[in-house]
Chain A
Amino acid sequence: MADSGTIIRLLVEKFPSQVEAIELNPKQTAVQIDPRIVVAFFEFIKTHPDLKMAYLSSISGVDMTTNIDIVYFLSSIEYKHKLTVRTKVNRKGGKIDTISTVIKGANWFEREIWELFGVEFLGHPNLTQFLLPDDWDEGPPMLRDWTGRNFVKMPEIGG
């Protein structure tokens, strides 16, 4: 099992200007990466003999109001260490390369983020709707400024 210092050192050596450490907690090491290198980055951490981060727990989308963060949660079955990878895409019409070519389990997570946040995953094998109702026409609903036909905003309390 590699500690967070070792993981970060390996990553920064390989991608010196595109990777930045943002959390050194040994249970939740986190790095911020350049969205243009995702495929090479995941290929590297999956195949490197000291990392072997092949298990993708989840991919999250976060609407940060200025941009959308895509957060990848990975771990290694073999070494029992974890890594969180954050990357930023544009809020409107955001595009990022798919990692489902490297890690197959990313397929459905990416479809979900495409559906709920409107981020397009370039090269995804099957980017079609599957969670929202079939006749959905109101756009990606998880954006913070989204409103729809049956949407009721929480009223301000106090003030």
Chain B
Amino acid sequence: MGIISRVPVIAEKIPGGAIVATSLEKILNLSRASSMWYLLFGTACCAIEMMCTGASRYDFDRFGMFFRASPRQADLMFVAGTITYKMAPRVKRLYEQMAEPRYVIAMGGCACNGGPFYYDSYAVLKGVDLIIPVDVYLPGCPPRPESLMEACIKLQEKIKREKLQDWSSDKRG
């Protein structure tokens, strides 16, 4: 594996090259990380920050990220807001309808662990990781758009580290 992992570093240094020799793993990871289309889904005030991040001032488009209104076309789900026990089965269903590979960012305190509704609440799910696997936890109430972009960059780094042999559905939720 020594030579394979060094090849892209050599190849990318060729100036103005039309042909780039690289590994399948790297090119697929780069494609996935550079066009994460997210599900247009928000349940509380975090969704306002998510909309703001998608709009022109913060401009998610430069990461290659667009909202998709259907889970069938989405790669990434922001759980933006409070998830109640009544909402939880619907979130799970939306996640299951997304095509693999799929990623989840738990945005805000409510999605991470129940947040301000952890105590004395009969209705709020104590963390979305109880029902679906979460890749990045983003605290804040609600997090600012900069934080959300930071979370997306972290997720891109995570995707770029993925190995070919891990791409089976039983290992990756």
Q: A residues near B, CB below 8 A? A: 132-133, 138, 141-142, 146, 148, 150-155
Contacts and interface: CB of A to CB of B under 8 A. Distances in A.
17 contacts: A132-B86, A133-B85, A138-B122, A141-B122, A142-B122, A146-B122, A150-B85, A150-B122, A150-B126, A151-B120, A151-B121, A151-B122, A152-B118, A152-B119, A152-B126, A153-B119, A154-B120
Nearest to B124: A150
B123 interface: yes
Q: Which 3 A-B pairs have the closest CB atoms?
A: A141-B122, A154-B119, A133-B86
Contacts of A151: 120-122
Contact of A141 (B86, B118, B123, B126): B123
Interface in B65-115: 85-86
A151 to B, nearest CB: 6
Contacts of A133: 85-86
A148 B120 CA distance: 10
A138 B123 CA distance: 12
B122 A153 contact: no
Contacts of B123: 141
A132 B86 CA distance: 7
Contacts of A146: 122
Contacts of B121: 151
A153 B86 contact: no
Nearest to B122: A141
Interface in B35-91: 85-86
Nearest to B120: A154
Contacts of A154: 119-120
A148 B124 CA distance: 12
B81 to A, nearest CB: 18
Nearest to A132: B86
B123 to A, nearest CB: 7
A8 B78 CA distance: 54
The residue in B85, B120, B122 that gathers the most chain A C-beta atoms within 10 A of its C-beta is: B122
Nearest to A151: B122
Contacts of B119: 152-155
Contacts of B85: 133, 150
A150 B119 CA distance: 10
A148 B122 CA distance: 7
A141 B84 CA distance: 14
A154 to B, nearest CB: 4
Nearest to B126: A150
A2 B158 CA distance: 68
A155 B120 CA distance: 10
